[in-house]
Chains A and B, each alone.
Chain A
Amino acid sequence: MPAGPLLAVDDLSVTFTQRRRRDVKAVDGISFSLDEGSVVGLVGESGCGKSVTSLALMGLLPSRGVRVAGRAGFRPGGGDTEADLLSLPSRRMRDLRGRELAMVFQDPLSSLNPVVPIGRQVTEILVRHRGLKGRAARSAAADLLARVGIPDPGRRLREYPHELSGGMRQRALIAMAVACRPRLMIADEPTTALDVTIQAQILELLKELVTEEGTALLMITHDLGIVAGLCDEINVLYAGRVVESAQRHELFRAPTHPYTAGLLASIPRLHASRDLPLTPIRGTVNDAIDWTDGCAFAPRCDNYAEDCLGGPPHMREERAGHRFRCVHPVRTDAAAVSAEQSPAAPEPSAPKGEDR
């Protein structure tokens, strides 16, 4: 067994530069790691740098106007040699993408080429990485479609994206992603564009595939409900940095960063009285201040105090594996008490026989 995680992202930052404009730091020093076969969530609201992180890891950011710094150690083939995804030459990245690294995108309709049949879009990756040709490629593609639960794959291969339903399209995209049994799959909000009923099916499918193949999954989402049912470990992002990182149960049991606590509290609860207002987090992500001036979440934080400003708060680890970036964390016992009073909705094991 080789030492170290499959992917170790260290201090990744992505800055968009434009002539005559201020640079925009979309990702500001993210660090996290992912073990072989594990499922890790990257959670945060829109604009916190989730998607940019995934594109940076895939080497899909435009080369002009973007500055990427940091390190993303990846062990291709699961071997001992480590390659830095952020600095590999583009030709090597092209070889890795699709074969070792795969990605499922947010909007399945726009992510499929409208004028190329589904079959071609599936076979092209088999031709590229597995050297399959003609009939062999087509039958492998049909197997893949069947595998992701698309009925009548022979017919679907000849159809165009607009002839498929939304769920089918996302299944087709997943088929492309798993075509070469990648070691790491990044799913960027894979269910956001889908109906709720389809969402559950797609998540189930993803879970099934990664478990069977031993593929590691980096799940990028704004939906805590999704990570609750899927992820082993969760990283909460705010303004381009990880603010809290813990195992799933630990995070839902004892959210420590006020932002995480706020996210959990904002989930509507089924058993709450109808007259109780929802509890949103104040303000928007645009209210963030620069990390160099203090905690970016300070302007929206209920626990705000003077010493939140003046410099970036450091990552602290009070319990093993549970790290957070906060000077005035939510007190764990209080969080635990509140969690007992109103169990976090997405936590599957939390409700203790209340109904059902």
Chain B
Amino acid sequence: MLRFIVRRVLQAVPTLFGLSILLFIWVRALPGGPEYALLPENATAEQRAALRRAMGLDDPVIVQYGAFLGRLLQGDLGQSLQTGRPVLTEFAMKFPATVELAVMAMIIAVSAGVPLGYLAARRSGGALDSLVVGGSLVGICTPVFFLAFVLKLVFAEQLGVFPSAFRQTPGIDATRITGLFVVDGIATREWDAAWDAFMHLVLPGLALASIPLAVIVRMTRAGVIEVLGEDYVRTAEAKGLHRRTVRGRHVLRNAMLPVVTAIGLLSGALLAGAVLTESVFAFGGIGQFIYSATQTRDYPVLLGFILIIAALYVLINLIVDISYSLLDPRVRVS
């Protein structure tokens, strides 16, 4: 097991190295540069050129990349050009918000997707099935930012059921422990603060859940339909087991195996979707910060954040693979 983990981590190194090169080229290829965001609008061309020189941005890209890589190997991702704080500090400050949002979205996606997919499979070809399959297609096709805007417009601004922005109502004085506001509120028994933070999560969580939900519905449905035709389900029925035992132990458990893998892969879609969702809801997580870093050409933040996210993605999928081997004894790593 340990060797499996070590091998997977080592496999990730070249991936991340390649990604850092691509990212570096891509970031530099963006038109303009940080000198436009950092200097006032009436700054002269000479002033801008001087700043670029001072920041080393006129050096050959290969030299700049070498310097970046050298610092990276020492664990230094540089400072944010927007705030002046170290990139790692910024990440640590903003990461809990995104985690909270992504977890919320995943909870919505799994808790709605699995039952819906199961029901659609039981009645495959029926009206509910068509509705679920059609709905999931719409879910996959709808751009996340569009859905986010619609949700915000309808439920926050028109109906006023949910707050329209931020992670907590400004002015609430809550104790911070983990930075996950709902968790903090529960831990400190500040129920009002926890509830308030939860309500702020609902709309962005729904928006972000749309794609994973659609994928999970479809995978569950396909998995259940396949497993229902398996011989071992017939064996379970032949034993006269109660319907719920047959469904839970024999059908769902097997049908969930591919869904577990999908959840790992979907975590990438969640982080990507978070950029747009957080921006719409001014959520203050890494997504929103990456968005503003793109606007201001905050090179260190773009490079650093995306590399960390990529590393996390590798880590999440490693965890998923390990948990998969716990669920399916046939692929147990020896």
Chain A residues engaging chain B, CB cutoff 8 angstroms: 58, 60, 93-99, 102-103, 105, 107, 110-116, 120, 124-125, 128-129, 160, 162, 173, 176
Contact = CB atoms under 8 A, between A and B. Distances in A.
Given A96-B240, A125-B239, A112 B249 contact: no
A94 B246 CA distance: 11
Contact of A115 (B235, B237, B329): B329
Instruction: Give the one of A105, A110, A115, A124 with max B CB within 10 A.
Output: A115
A93 B237 CA distance: 10
A19 B131 CA distance: 21
Nearest to B253: A115
Contact of B232 (A96, A114, A125): A114
A110 B232 CA distance: 6
A257 B142 CA distance: 67
Interface of B: 230-232, 234-243, 245, 249-250, 253-254, 257, 327-330
Contacts of B254: 113-115
B230 A110 contact: yes
A199 B160 CA distance: 72
Contacts of A97: 237-240
A128 to B, nearest CB: 5
A321 B264 CA distance: 65
A128 B241 contact: yes
A199 B140 CA distance: 52
A105 B231 contact: yes
Nearest to A112: B232
B238 A160 contact: no
Given A114-B232, A124-B245, A128-B245, A176 B239 contact: yes
A307 B236 CA distance: 48
A120 B232 CA distance: 13
Contacts of B238: 58, 60, 97-98, 102-103, 105
Contacts of A93: 240
A112 B237 CA distance: 12
A236 to B, nearest CB: 25
B124 to A, nearest CB: 10
Contacts of A128: 239-242, 245
B184 to A, nearest CB: 38
Nearest to B329: A160
A110 B235 CA distance: 9
B237 to A, nearest CB: 6
Contact of A125 (B241, B328, B329): B241
Contacts of A99: 240
B239 A98 contact: yes
Nearest to B330: A162
Instruction: Give the one of B236, B239, B241, B245 with max A CB within 10 A.
Output: B239
B240 A113 contact: no
A120 B236 CA distance: 12
20 contacts: A94-B243, A98-B238, A98-B239, A102-B238, A105-B234, A107-B231, A111-B231, A111-B232, A113-B232, A113-B236, A113-B254, A114-B232, A114-B330, A115-B253, A115-B257, A115-B327, A116-B253, A125-B240, A162-B329, A176-B235
Contacts of A113: 232, 235-236, 249-250, 253-254
Nearest to B125: A64
Nearest to A110: B231
A173 B231 CA distance: 12
Contact of A111 (B235, B242, B330): B235
A102 B254 CA distance: 24
A112 B231 CA distance: 7
Contacts of A116: 249-250, 253
Contacts of A60: 234, 237-238
A284 to B, nearest CB: 25
Nearest to B232: A113
Nearest to A100: B240
B259 to A, nearest CB: 14
A124 B242 CA distance: 10
Report the 8 A-B pairs with minimum CB-CB distance, sorted nearest first. A98-B240, A97-B240, A98-B239, A110-B231, A113-B232, A160-B329, A125-B239, A111-B231
A176 B239 CA distance: 8
Contacts of B253: 113, 115-116
A179 B235 CA distance: 14
A103 B231 CA distance: 12
Contacts of A160: 329-330
Contacts of B330: 114-115, 160, 162
A5 B253 CA distance: 41
A113 B245 CA distance: 13
A120 B253 CA distance: 14
Contacts of A114: 232, 254, 328-330
Given A105-B234, A105-B235, A124-B241, 12 more contacts: A93-B240, A97-B237, A102-B238, A103-B238, A113-B249, A115-B254, A124-B236, A124-B239, A124-B249, A162-B329, A162-B330, A173-B235
Contact of B240 (A95, A110, A115): A95
Nearest to A107: B231
Contacts of A107: 231
Nearest to B236: A113
A170 B191 CA distance: 57
A326 B330 CA distance: 52
Nearest to A159: B329
Contacts of A112: 232, 235
B125 to A, nearest CB: 9
Instruction: Give the one of B240, B241, B249 with max A CB within 10 A.
Output: B240
B128 to A, nearest CB: 15
Nearest to A117: B329
Contact of A129 (B230, B240, B257): B240
A124 to B, nearest CB: 6
Contacts of A96: 240
A292 to B, nearest CB: 32
B249 to A, nearest CB: 6
